[in-house]
Amino acid sequence: MNTPVTPEQQAEIDNLRESPRQTLRVISEGMEQHLYTAHPVLDHGFVRVVDYMGDDAAICQAARVSYGRGTKSVQNDEGLIRYLMRHWHSTPFEMCEVKLHVKLPVFVARQWIRHRTANVNEYSARYSILDREFYIPAPENLAAQSSVNKQGRSEVLEGDEAARVLDLLRQDAMRSYDHYEDMLSQDGQQGLARELARMNLPANIYTQWYWKVDLHNLFHFLRLRADAHAQYEIRAYADALCDIVADWVPAAFGAFRDYRMDAVSLSAGAVSVLKRRLAGETVAQEDSGMSMREWREFQEIWG
Ligand SMILES: Cc1cc2nc3c(=O)[nH]c(=O)nc-3n(C[C@H](O)[C@H](O)[C@H](O)COP(=O)(O)OP(=O)(O)OC[C@H]3O[C@@H](n4cnc5c(N)ncnc54)[C@H](O)[C@@H]3O)c2cc1C
């Protein structure tokens, strides 16, 4: 994997990590380990925490509307956090926030930006020239179109076909970037404006943004994007974020994993089928009241 930051950028990050400051504010020891560090994702991307607010105790503090830390005991706090998560009492989770710096391919950014409950500021390709950095999938992620899921992929491409696809991706990326540079060039010509020249670049070029979100909405993002149904490339970012959030707010993340991520929700029809099965009845799709697709999804979970 290539290093996603240049030596100069790394020096800036190191400099920030070498200058600790005293504060009266709440800190999360787990999150302090991540602060400023760039965690590599895909071939040139990263996520890094630029700032954060709150910890597990801050969730309890808000829930109890407390004057002090709001902490009773770690066990007590964990119980409260699990209760809040279980009962969709979400506002205390909004009291924690995180500001991230993310470097990601444009086609991943298009999926990510759909999550509207965050604050975003993106690198301006009107103002600056984009770097020659393109996402080229690792061979194990170069897969064929799925025949059962129109929004998915199936077997990994192999041999000549894989080599040909990789070749096309690399050649097209390089060629369009060469033309981008040519169009911008003022060498004996006026040079096309950056805001126009960029339209020639493919969607696998990398962009960057600052993304600030509260924990409740971050959980919603992770629930959708760290899921098997999400495209691998955005899932890679969501997985990296899960590791960070688990260190930041371990109790809240544990509750989120149990009650959201690894949980399943049942329709009234599914509950009825399960009850009939527990009573000893054999239920088939035809007399379940479920569509074929719903039945298939039900079977995947309950067999
Ligand atoms: C597997 C997968 C496949 C997808 N496929 C497609 C696709 O084919 N085409 C496509 O266009 N999108 C697709 N999406 C994007 C999806 O439809 C959502 O836009 C995206 O997941 C963001 O979710 P959200 O709106 O809940 O998040 P947020 O924008 O963060 O909103 C969080 C919650 O806030 C509330 N909210 C926010 N803004 C408003 C508002 N203006 N009005 C009312 N309520 C609001 C809603 O309750 C919402 O659930 C896909 C997403 C996934 C995970």
Whether the CB-CB separation of 40 and 133 falls below 8 Å is answered with: no
Rg (CA), the chain: 24
CA of 278 to the centre of ligand 1 (A): 36
E runs forming strands in the chain: 39-41, 45-53, 97-105, 119-122, 143-145, 153-156, 206-214
Is 11 annotated as ligand-binding?
no
Residue with CA nearest ligand 1 atom 17 = 114
Residue with CA nearest ligand 1 atom 34 = 117
CA of 219 to the centre of ligand 1 (A): 13
Report the DSSP beta bridge partners of residue 134: 205
pLDDT at 2: 59
Is 124 annotated as ligand-binding?
yes
175 is catalytic: no
pLDDT at 143: 78
Per-residue b or e along 148-177, where b marks 16 or more CB atoms closer than 10 Å to that residue's CB: eeeeeeeeebeeeebeeebeebeeebeeeb
Q: Which residues line ligand 1 (CB under 6 A)?
A: 114-117, 217, 220, 224, 229-230
pLDDT at 66: 81
Q: Widest CA span of the chain, in angstroms?
A: 84
Is 175 annotated as ligand-binding?
no
CA of 110 to the centre of ligand 1 (A): 12
Residue with CA nearest ligand 1 atom 41 = 116
Of residues 32 and 126, which shows the higher confidence score? Answer: 32
154, pLDDT greater than 80:
no
Q: How confident is the model over 120-127, as a mean pLDDT?
A: 92
- What kind and span of H or E run contains 257? none
Residue with CA nearest ligand 1 atom 42 = 116
Residue with CA nearest ligand 1 atom 47 = 117
Q: Any idea where the domains of the chain sit in the sequence?
A: 7-135+204-261, 138-202, 268-302
pLDDT at 158: 80
The single-letter code of the amino acid at 53 is M
Is 116 annotated as ligand-binding?
yes
Q: How would residue 246 be classed by pLDDT, with cut points 50, 70 and 90?
A: very high
CA of 221 to the centre of ligand 1 (A): 9
pLDDT at 59: 96
Contacts of 122 (CB under 8 A, 6+ apart): 109, 207, 208, 209
Question: What percent of the chain stands above pLDDT 90?
Answer: 80
Of residues 213 and 187, which shows the higher confidence score? Answer: 213
**CA-CA distance, 289 to 295, in Å (whole number)?**
9
- Among 111, 112, 116, the mutation site with the greatest number of ligand 1 atoms within 8 A of its Cβ is 116
Q: How confident is the model over 7-26, as a mean pLDDT?
A: 93
**Which atom, in ligand 1's list, is nearest to the CA of 230?**
1
pLDDT at 65: 87
Is 277 annotated as ligand-binding?
no
**CA-CA distance, 217 to 21, in Å (whole number)?**
29
**What pTM does this model have?**
0.94
Tens-digit pLDDT profile for residues 136-146: 999 888 877 77
Q: How confident is the model over 241-259, as a mean pLDDT?
A: 98
Calculate the average pLDDT of the chain: 93
118, pLDDT greater than 80:
yes
DSSP annotation of 146 reads P
pLDDT at 4: 87
Domain 7-135+204-261's class? alpha beta
CA of 201 to the centre of ligand 1 (A): 27
CA of 149 to the centre of ligand 1 (A): 20
> 45-53 and 97-105: which strand pairing?
antiparallel
Q: How confident is the model over 173-192, as a mean pLDDT?
A: 94
Active-site residue, selected from the candidate residues 48, 225, 235, 257: 225
**Which atom, in ligand 1's list, is nearest to the CA of 231?**
1
Is 115 annotated as ligand-binding?
yes
Whether the CB-CB separation of 202 and 178 falls below 8 Å is answered with: no
**Which atom, in ligand 1's list, is nearest to the CA of 118?**
30
pLDDT at 95: 97
